[in-house]
Amino acid sequence: MVNTISERSVGLSARQNFMTKQELFNKADQYKKNIQAAHPLKPAEVKELDAYFKVGLTYSSNAIEGNILTISETKVLLEDGLTAGGKPLKDSLEAIGHAKAYDFMLLIVRAKPFEITEHIILELHQLFYEGIDKENAGKYRDISVYITGTDYLPPEPEQVPLLMKEYVAKVNQLSGTLHPIELAALAHKWLVDIHPYVDGNGRIARLLMNLLLMHHGYGIVSIPPVLRLEYIEALRISQRSNQPETESFIKLIAEFTIETQKDYCRLLRIKAN
């Protein structure tokens, strides 16, 4: 159970970064086609996969932000309710909150019809953050925030409500126009650019990215903590004032999507190409 994509993907960029964006999309789509052609899953199998990826995504997404729970400690906390001795309480609260937001994400993606709304994004943050800071959970920030390690300055708080309305409209408008992986990657990036919350922006962006990917038939995509610096650097390049570019970030998300598809093939015993 704990041998997730987060621990097995070291070097994936070295293997795939010579490929073009479209080649990466094509490869991910071929894996998706193979998975969808396999036998239908039983409800119990779907439940097992949901739990498997809940642990993996909760661990990896929190680890990227500095949470020190191991994947085994995350599993025990979410499945048995046992906290890790000697670890900060906040780390456990982040894992519990992320798991709640993950469950909500699954409910939304399996509902029809589907469309991104401000309510969905706010509810994801509410569920994730209410155990940590109830006052700011599910609310746009009313203070200026700064992102360490970059020169990028997020918008002022009074700009956030309008920017979020425009954000939702843009994501929905581009659905069906861009390749789903590109749209999911850009939706992630744009939300981080706005930085609408006092904290938890990266985790909500990754949940929203997964919401879009799952809606289009891809699996849960985790960012391996061992590739944290590469992920942050790709985001930084996309935000720089001088010659920003998003290609590197989109390709990185495509690579992670491929690794997820491989993981599904392994779990479902599907022969991969």
- Distances from the Cα of 74 to the Cα of 58, 59, 62, 96, 162, angstroms: 8, 6, 10, 9, 37
All residues at 6 or more sequence positions from 245 whose CB lies less than 8 Å from its CB, including other chains: 237, 238
Q: Which amino acid is at 22?
A: Q
pLDDT of residue 18: 80
Which of the four pLDDT bands, split at 50, 70 and 90, describes residue 130? Answer: very high
**Measured at the alpha carbon of residue 113, what is the angle toward residues 120 and 168, in degrees to the nearest 5?**
40
| pLDDT at residue 148, as a whole number | 82
Predicted local confidence at residue 2, as pLDDT? 46
Map residue 193 onto helix, strand or coil.
helix
* Per-residue pLDDT tens over the stretch 47-83: 999 999 999 999 999 999 999 999 999 999 999 999 9
256: nearest Cα among 194, 215, 216, 210: 210
Alpha helix segments (H runs only) across the chain: 5-8, 12-16, 21-37, 43-64, 71-80, 89-109, 118-129, 160-174, 180-194, 201-215, 228-239, 247-268
CA dist 181 and 110 (Å) reads 18
Query: With bands split at pLDDT 50, 70 and 90, how would you rate the model's confidence at 273?
Result: low
How many CA atoms within 13 Å lie on the side-chain side of 272? 17
Task: Annotate 55-112 with DSSP letters as a single string.
Answer: HHHHHHHHHHTT----HHHHHHHHHH-PPPTTS-HHHHHHHHHHHHHHHHHHHHHTSS
Give φ, ψ of 191 to 5 degrees: -70, -40
Element (H, E) at 162: helix 160-174
Three-state secondary-structure class, residue 178? strand
Which pTM value belongs to this model? 0.93
Average of per-residue pLDDT across 127-148: 96
Percent of the chain with pLDDT over 70: 93
Whether the per-residue pLDDT at 190 is higher than 70: the answer is: yes
pLDDT of residue 1: 43
> In the chain, where are the structural domains located?
25-268
Q: How far apart are CA 114 and CA 212, in angstroms?
A: 10
**Residues 264/34, Cβ–Cβ less than 8 Å:** no
CB atoms within 10 A of CB 173: 9
Catalytic residues: 195
According to CATH, the topology of domain 25-268 is: Fic-like fold (1.10.3290)
Distant-in-sequence, close-in-space partners of 136: CB < 8 Å, separation ≥ 6: 129, 197, 198, 199
CA distance 147 to 170: 24
Among 38-42, 239-243, 253-257, top mean pLDDT goes to 253-257
> pLDDT for 140-174, tens place per residue?
999 999 988 788 999 999 999 999 999 999 999 99
